[in-house]
A and B are shown apart, each in its own frame.
Chain A
Amino acid sequence: MKKSNDQMMLDRLADAARQGRISRRSFMNYSMAAGMTATTATGLWTKSAAAQPKSGGTFRIGAHDGNTSDTHDPGTYVTFSTIILAHTYRSYLTLIEPDQSLGPDVATEWSATPDATEWTFQLNDRATFHNGNKVTADDVIASMNHHRGDDSTSAAKALLADVTDIVKSGESAVTFKLAAGNADLPWLMTDYHLAICPANDDGTIDWQSGLGCGPYKITSGEFGVGFELERHEDWHLEGAYFDAVSITILNDPNARQTALVTGDVDAVTQLELKTLALLQRDPSINILNVPSGSAITMPMHCDTAPFDDVRVRKAMKLAIDRDEIIEKIAFGTATKANDFHHSPAMPYWPDDIPQHDYDPDQARALLAEAGAEGISVNLSVADSVFSGAVDMCVLYSEQAKAAGIDINVVREPNDGYYSDVWLKKPWCVVQWGARPTPDVMYSLAYKDDAAWNEARWQNERFNELLLQAKAELNDDARAGMYREMAMIAHEDGGTVLPMFPNFVYATKGNVAHNEQLAASWQLDGGRGASRWWFA
């Protein structure tokens, strides 16, 4: 009797694993609880869960954040729906694999000179545009130059600021020459702006036609409404199991969830966290909750009183109860941050930095030491920063009262928040998208002379390490440097980091995916359309 029960249990587990409903870890746990040894369970996992992807079907995505003024210009990609679209019809030199490592896309391999100032990318011979033309070195060079030069309006201009020249080395290889060593260049190539487009004869790119070299080609569509795509049969990578893909813009969270519940779409991005518990009750829906590299920051201008005193900054970091914020504002779907902008989903994450916990007494003592007891400060925020942003600040303000800090939450207009408030008000709330490596993040918003040094933070040792680590090709040495930088930012930095929000999205139960999901964007790094399949 016992035996047949066990067998039934195992069959059900194997079934669940095959359909991708449970992860390998849960599978192992349950199997061992059912009395199996680890080896047997592992063997069973490999047999059952290595379900072969099946081809076929039309994968319908409901995506948030689409605007009728979006365009095919990769330099001005800004909305999430265009980012999802970009990863479906265009390709990049490199990509982030589901296990968060760096993998090949249009480039098959890459290598650097020892000082990391020259990088050469070998291009995939099989890569073709949707019109059948081969992807050549000229296309790649033109695609990169679109983001460089004085008259470029690309948002990725800062990313490639160090690139002095890009030249052909043979028919199918491209060499980037840098002003200073950068060990992260291959990672930068995964940035969603740096899509490979066909070159025109004059060295510009043809972005207008929407021609790409990605897994699917656009058959029809309109920005702000939706797109229909069909498989690009000659795509150069493994995957693209669906015959066709459609992306519908569903800006309203309710419309998105309803469409998923009624089966009008197979997957949606960005669930409304407030109703997550209700959606979880629907057995036909898989909710995917993926820790990400995106972050909420609260930069304090370190050159402005009272934040020019490191003790005040530290007090602010100790006066916030992150656990309560994650529980009440993010409904548990966030990863606790520790006042350095480096998420566990990014490479080189140091796991041994002591956690800043809620400690109003110590915060009060620090303020007394700094002669700033009972200070009153303004915290600027707008609803549009992220869902629950204003609520989070109000909660923080309540928590800080225990430390004798009076935080006055200033609600700013949504419109123009990033041009009128961010970088201008001494303390505000910001959401950052995921960046592939700590270097990119730190160079963008923590380097002393960065345009977006949002906390106006100057720390000599930090900046020295940043430059050293950037050109260091030895991974262990780099990890050590990023650990020290994390420690400095944690103690001295001007940014309170409450949490790294997770990506929370959902699919219908019949959509299968690999065991891991890339954390760079929603829907498996934006590549669900080419990585997933119908079970």
Chain B
Amino acid sequence: MGDILGLVAKRLGLGLLTLLVVSVLIFFAVELLPGDIAEAVLGQAATEETVAALREQMGLDRPAPVRYLEWLAGAVTGDFGVSLISGDRVTEAISGRFVNTLFLAAYAAVIAVPFAIILGIIVALLRNSIFDRVANVLTLTSISSPEFFLGYILILYLAVKTSMFPAIASLSTDMTFAELLHRTFLPALTLVLVVTAHMMRMTRAAIINLLASPYIEMARLKGTPPWKVIVRHALPNAWAPIINVVALNLAYLITGVVLVEVVFVYPGIGQLLVDAVAKRDFPIVQACCLIFAATFILLNLAADVGSILTNPRLRHPK
């Protein structure tokens, strides 16, 4: 186990370095955007005087590297600053939204991951049958359609025509958990449709790959039923690539959902980031991007650790 802890520590260290680089890139990318926060806030109503007054109030009259270093000094101690526009603490502005995003991602993942893996096993078992073909066509169609389009289709059939689910997923504080699940079902289902194909196809491919191996042949020869061959013999060796794909899709569920948020009016972090970029509200942009970067780093790490744990050979590289 020691070697895994070592690996985790090393990767976390590298992750921190990555975050630092990301923060530099984001800061200067926001600086490069035309216009600044003062102009964005005042919009069409901006005059030279008011823009200058606002810039001074927000401290934008100082050079960019100074502002970055100040932000960095705060960030290192866990203080991500305040939103330049509303003056709220960044952590407060983001936390509620981030919880919402995590909830939706978890909701979708709880459905999508078991569904995709079980479906993958079934189609591997029934490969080249009609069922396999139909499942492949349907999942590939759903992954190939833009997610807002899938959202509109679901709204049309499940909200407008049959009114089984609400068309907008706006949240209120006094909802029960069941109401919450009902209200957010359509965005979650959209995400499920988007991520299922990738995981299912990987499960199918990984298992089919292994089915040609001699030890599977052996299992078959000794009379093991086909489902048992796959679940007991093939699957344990197929976990590594599946875990990798699952991790990537989980990261996508957190970072890539802004279109779904817009279509279903769900108050998640993606919409917050888009608004903040439009207004050049740097502290919010920075914090959101770091969260996204950290999500990828941590999930990738988790995937690697998972692959190693499920495959003892990887723990003892030659």
Contact = CB atoms under 8 A, between A and B. Distances in A.
Interface of A: 62, 67-69, 71, 76, 78, 150-155, 157-158, 220, 222-226, 228, 248-252, 254-255, 258-259, 261-262, 264, 413, 415-416, 418-420, 422, 451-452
Contacts of A222: 96, 267
Contacts of B267: 222, 224-225
Contacts of A259: 167-168, 265
A249 B267 CA distance: 10
Contacts of A225: 170, 267
Interface of B is mostly: helix
A226 B265 CA distance: 10
Nearest to B170: A248
B39 interface: yes
Interface string B37-53: 00111111111111001
Contacts of A228: 172
B163 interface: yes
A342 B44 CA distance: 20
B35 interface: yes
B34 A223 contact: no
Contacts, number: 122
A68 B275 contact: yes
Contact of B272 (A68, A151, A152, A252): A68
Most chain A beta-carbon contacts within 10 A, residue among B33, B47, B264: B47
5 contacts: A153-B54, A250-B265, A415-B34, A416-B39, A419-B39
A427 to B, nearest CB: 17
Interface of B: 33-35, 39-50, 53-54, 57, 83, 85-87, 93, 96, 152, 155, 159-160, 163, 166-168, 170, 172-173, 262-265, 267, 271-272, 275-276, 278-279, 281, 284
B271 A419 contact: no
A64 to B, nearest CB: 11
A254 B263 contact: yes
B163 A69 contact: no
A69 B39 contact: no
A214 to B, nearest CB: 21
A451 B57 CA distance: 22
Given A222-B96, A228-B172, 9 more contacts: A78-B43, A151-B57, A225-B267, A250-B168, A252-B265, A415-B278, A416-B39, A419-B34, A420-B35
Contact of B163 (A62, A249, A262, A420): A262
Given A262-B160, A415-B35, A418-B43, A152 B50 contact: yes
A255 B50 contact: no
Nearest to A60: B170
B57 A153 contact: yes
Contacts of A220: 173
Contacts of B53: 150-153
Nearest to B47: A451
A428 to B, nearest CB: 12
A451 B39 CA distance: 15
Contact of B271 (A155, A224, A254): A224
B33 A69 contact: no
A8 B107 CA distance: 55
Given A259-B168, A420-B35, A451 B48 contact: yes
A67 B37 CA distance: 14
Contact of A422 (B34, B40, B42, B44): B44
B222 to A, nearest CB: 58
Contacts of A155: 42-43, 45-46, 50
Contact of B262 (A76, A248, A252): A252
A71 B86 CA distance: 6
A262 B163 CA distance: 7
B114 to A, nearest CB: 30
Contacts of A151: 53, 57
A71 B50 contact: no
A250 B40 CA distance: 21
B279 A255 contact: no
A223 B284 CA distance: 15
A264 B166 contact: yes
Contacts of B54: 153
B265 A69 contact: no
Given A255-B264, A258-B160, A262-B159, A420 B168 contact: no
Contacts of B167: 255, 258-259, 261-262, 264
Contacts of B271: 68, 224
Nearest to A153: B54
Contacts of B85: 69, 71
B276 A258 contact: no
